[in-house]
Chains A and B, each alone.
Chain A
Amino acid sequence: QSGLTQPPSASGTPGQRVTISCSGRSSNIGSNPVSWYQLLPGTAPRLLIYTDGQRPSGVPDRFSASKSGTSASLAISGLQSEDEAIYCCAAWDDSLIGVVFGGGTKLTVL
């Protein structure tokens, strides 16, 4: 299965703004909405962003996302130690006729 491509790691200091990229194809990101998740050990994935840039209730506005062509990105501003986690993107793929996930980006707060 061809998934979405994310950098394996990212880092930032408290208060900083960091971005995490997610690269795909015309069959997935290029034509379908992107979701972003926060993964913490021992807990279910938390939906941060859906439909490219919408936040569910309860998700701070420090989290934002955008999309251009076949790439998407998640931005976290005012970085906090509690943001240290793995972040994963996902989208529907019209060729696979299924969901594809990114491999995940481990964010370290220095």
Chain B
Amino acid sequence: QVRLQESDPGLVRPSDTLSLTCTVSGVSIRTYNWGWVRQPPGKGLEWIGYVYYTGNTKYNPSLKSRVTMTVDTSKNKFSLKVRSVTAADTATYYCTRDLPPSFWGQGALVTVSS
């Protein structure tokens, strides 16, 4: 059974870097496209980007300058970093599989606050 689980960074200070990791179980990360989606409180879903196991990436143009996604095939995990965060980056972050997503993690609430 495919399962995705996000790490829980919790509180991140403004201007710092938000870091999240998604642990994948039940399937090899060496297949499919793996991505991130976020949902700010009270708002809709926003696609952040995806990474393939080869390391190829594609990011949402609105976030491209601040986002990096990587994959660790030895640990069956992939990661997201968002630099220079502000309160506008406060959201529940989901790791996903496929484009559009077919599998979702449970979500990790990230709050940006001093």
Give the interface residue-count category, chain A.
20 to 34
Q: Is A88 an interface residue (CB 8 A)?
A: yes
1/0 per residue, CB under 8 A from A, across B18-40: the answer is: 00000000000000000101000
- A44 in contact with B104 (CB, 8 Å): yes
Chain B residues 37 to 78 lying within 8 A of chain A, measured CB to CB, are 37, 44-47, 49-50, 58-62
Kindly report which residue of chain B lies nearest to residue A34, judged by CB atoms.
B100
Contact of B94 among A44, A56, A90, A104 (CB under 8 A): A44
Q: Is B105 an interface residue (CB 8 A)?
A: yes
Q: How far is the CA of A18 from the CA of B106 in the complex (A)?
A: 28
Among B61, B100, B104, B107, the one with the most A-chain Cβ atoms within 10 Å of its Cβ is B100
Q: Is B99 an interface residue (CB 8 A)?
A: yes
Interface of A, helix, strand, loop or mixed by DSSP: strand
Give the interface residue-count category, chain B.
20 to 34
CB contacts (< 8 Å) of B114 on chain A: these are: none
CB contacts (< 8 Å) of B106 on chain A: these are: 43-44
- A99 in contact with B100 (CB, 8 Å): yes
Q: How far is the CA of A55 from the CA of B48 in the complex (A)?
A: 25
Contact of A44 among B46, B47, B62, B107 (CB under 8 A): B107
Q: Is A100 an interface residue (CB 8 A)?
A: yes
1/0 per residue, CB under 8 A from B, across A8-51: the answer is: 00000000000000000000000001010101000111010010
Q: Is A96 an interface residue (CB 8 A)?
A: yes
Q: How far is the CA of A33 from the CA of B102 in the complex (A)?
A: 12
CB contacts (< 8 Å) of B50 on chain A: these are: 98-99
Among A39, A99, A104, the one with the most B-chain Cβ atoms within 10 Å of its Cβ is A99
Q: How far is the CA of A50 from the CA of B58 in the complex (A)?
A: 22
1/0 per residue, CB under 8 A from A, across B90-108: the answer is: 0000100001111111110
- A98 in contact with B60 (CB, 8 Å): yes
Q: How far is the CA of A56 from the CA of B58 in the complex (A)?
A: 27
The 3 A-B pairs with the shortest beta carbon distances in the complex, nearest first, are A90-B100, A99-B47, A44-B104
